[in-house]
A and B are shown apart, each in its own frame.
Chain A
């Protein structure tokens, strides 16, 4: 086998490829190929780390849920489905209400029949394939309803994992999905710790609550906020110190869901019990 390392010193004869030259040419080639990658527009450091909007926008939407007021009527779920064209009979929903019942025996039961689309019209607990559980004999220590919706997190893990940039966060904090771009991989659905995402049965793209973006950008309230007869749901702007929601969040005891994930959710709960999942 030829000892190629000597060819660098020897002269005359055809040029031999040395390991060094080969590596140098390869590196140059790759560098040259990398230049057009600027078309991918990710190498501008300013843009990469720009959080400029965080300082300049005047609106950051937040939500407030009062679990003492919620009675589990499910009118919010019905209104959301009709406002946002999520098929009524499909077993997916942008928002839902959970029921928690703690019995005197110390057991915790929770259910959300059809996401509470039809409210809670039985005391029996819906256990899915395990049927309905009659807990009338156990005595109730405490029970309450917890509405849930997309938290429009400050650090949305669903946006982080989208491979094509189909889901994103707008400057006002709402996380949206581009139906023309979503490839339907489902990574965002798996990435959400709160389970608010699903595949839209008609559009087949990822779908979730967006605080009724088409309404709030016109000065209206989200459909669920408007529909709730008991004022359990409220929308606010955390950047407006005069907003009543902002004042509640600042001055009263409120909680958020699953803060350990670092998502910084922006739906705040009054009366959030430690049993809530």
Chain B
């Protein structure tokens, strides 16, 4: 079986070499990079524009963006026929290709987020390093953490008020610089599709913008969801340990903070969601109006074969329902959870409908290809390009997020100011 043959069913007139080459991992890739960009933009809303109510969320979102950043290249690694040759994108980049921008953009963006995190957590690194240095007999684990935190200080131990103010300026600069870079990060992912003139569905200048807008939507939704999750864990801990640990806030305090942050964040979610939906509807309406050569086959794909995927799953369940849920007054945590999950589903379906939908019709405009995702893996290929691979990628950021929260604590110990 050639690559792609296993999960492609061809109908009517399809040329011999056409298969669905870009399958689930190529759907996951823009989904994950979208989350990266979206989480960062959310964090920057506080650092750059000083929206005080988002302060709680900002730190959280930045750390999550960093965790996601490491996971984002994984779908590509799983998709490549030669994953280890992928490093050649850094060695012999061909910048006429949007994918070659991957090297520069990811690295640049990673540098910005890492630097911003360094400035944000520098005080914590120095304090922990010094505390561990003073400890006389360290266990092996403590030695390990000592080395980690010492290296993380980058040799700078000055945590005077003056240096911390310099840090704040640096954070603001980086957060500001990072917004266009984050947009570029996901804009180029949209450009990868939008610039493929051979594909009648993908080729549109709107593609990068649509991708950016829906990326921000997904990033905000994911952060909202994870924030609620961590807050619920904190509330649980607060209920249990209220007596012994004074630093945990009371349940009531946590709850009120949670709701106000949710309400603030959901406003931004709605704004970007409206932008994303408008652009996508504009694209469909424009195509139908101009009705170029490809319109016949595209119409049959959009309005007939993929009708359920597009209008029911993506626009209905993934956009309209959460729009209503968030617009209704008196937002509760439960509604926020449901809304965020549906939004994430909607953004995922958007990626699916673009990537898979673009391969649902043949270059002949007279044939179709049907994609059936491998569910039960029976070898490495059907795992990595199947449901197993997709789910693994989706779970990993949460795992990594939990791991790095030991280095970057998510919630401030002292919340005095």
Contacts and interface: CB of A to CB of B under 8 A. Distances in A.
Chains A and B touch (C-beta atoms under 8 A apart): yes
Interface of A: 1-2, 4, 17, 19, 22, 40, 42, 90-93, 96, 98, 108-112, 114-115, 127-130, 148, 157, 160-165, 181-187, 189-199, 201, 204-205, 261-262, 277
Contact of A199 (B3, B85, B365): B3
A12 B175 CA distance: 32
Interface string B109-123: 000000000000000
B99 A187 contact: yes
A2 B370 CA distance: 63
A189 B88 contact: no
Interface stretch (B74-82, B124-132, B333-341): B74-82
B231 interface: no
Contacts of B363: 193-195, 277
Contacts of B307: none
Contact of A190 (B2, B76, B162, B196): B196
A12 B99 CA distance: 51
Interface stretch (B17-25, B47-55, B214-222, B269-277): B17-25
Interface stretch (B37-45, B58-66, B89-97, B404-412): B89-97
B3 A185 contact: no
A135 B171 CA distance: 71
Q: Secondary structure at chain B's binding surface: helix, strand, loop or mixed?
A: loop
Contact of A164 (B2, B14, B100): B100
Contact of B80 (A160, A183, A189): A183
B18 A195 contact: yes
Contact of A129 (B11, B76, B81, B195): B11
A165 B80 contact: no
A183 B21 contact: no
Given A93-B17, A96-B15, A191-B198, 15 more contacts: A4-B169, A92-B17, A111-B13, A114-B16, A129-B370, A157-B198, A161-B97, A161-B99, A183-B85, A183-B89, A184-B85, A192-B198, A195-B363, A277-B363, A277-B365
Contacts of A191: 196, 198
A269 B96 CA distance: 31
B165 interface: yes
Nearest to A115: B16
Interface string B161-198: 01001100110010000000000000000001001111
Contacts of B98: 161
Contact of B82 (A108, A160, A182, A192): A182
A129 B2 CA distance: 17
B198 A261 contact: yes
A164 B93 contact: yes
30 contacts: A2-B165, A17-B166, A19-B169, A91-B2, A96-B16, A98-B15, A109-B13, A128-B9, A128-B10, A128-B11, A130-B12, A157-B198, A161-B98, A161-B99, A163-B97, A164-B91, A164-B93, A182-B81, A183-B85, A183-B89, A184-B81, A185-B76, A189-B21, A190-B22, A190-B196, A194-B363, A196-B17, A199-B2, A201-B2, A261-B197
B16 A91 contact: yes
A91 B15 CA distance: 11
Q: Secondary structure at chain A's binding surface: helix, strand, loop or mixed?
A: loop
Contacts of B97: 160-163, 187
B88 A183 contact: yes
A192 B199 CA distance: 9
Nearest to A110: B13
Given A198-B2, A277-B365, A164 B89 contact: yes
A128 B14 contact: yes
Contacts of B22: 186, 190
Contact of B9 (A93, A111, A129, A199): A129
B86 to A, nearest CB: 6
Interface residues of B, number: 58
Among A112, A129, A130, max chain B CB count under 10 A is at A129
Nearest to B12: A127
Contacts of A162: 94, 97
B316 interface: no
Among A98, A111, A165, max chain B CB count under 10 A is at A165
B146 interface: no
A195 B17 contact: yes
B5 interface: yes
B364 interface: yes
B80 A185 contact: yes
A181 B2 contact: no
A164 B91 CA distance: 8
Contacts of A90: 2
Interface string B344-368: 0000000000000000001111110
Contacts of B100: 163-164
B102 interface: yes
B2 A2 contact: no
B294 to A, nearest CB: 11
Among B81, B96, B102, max chain A CB count under 10 A is at B81
B197 A190 contact: no
Given A199-B81, A201-B2, A130 B11 contact: yes
Q: In the A-B complex, list the 5 residue pairs whose CB atoms are closest, starting with the nearest.
A: A184-B81, A115-B16, A163-B99, A277-B364, A198-B17
B340 to A, nearest CB: 32
Contact of B367 (A22, A128, A165, A201): A128
A250 to B, nearest CB: 29
Nearest to A93: B16
B364 A110 contact: yes
Nearest to A23: B173
B95 to A, nearest CB: 7
B163 to A, nearest CB: 10
Nearest to A114: B16
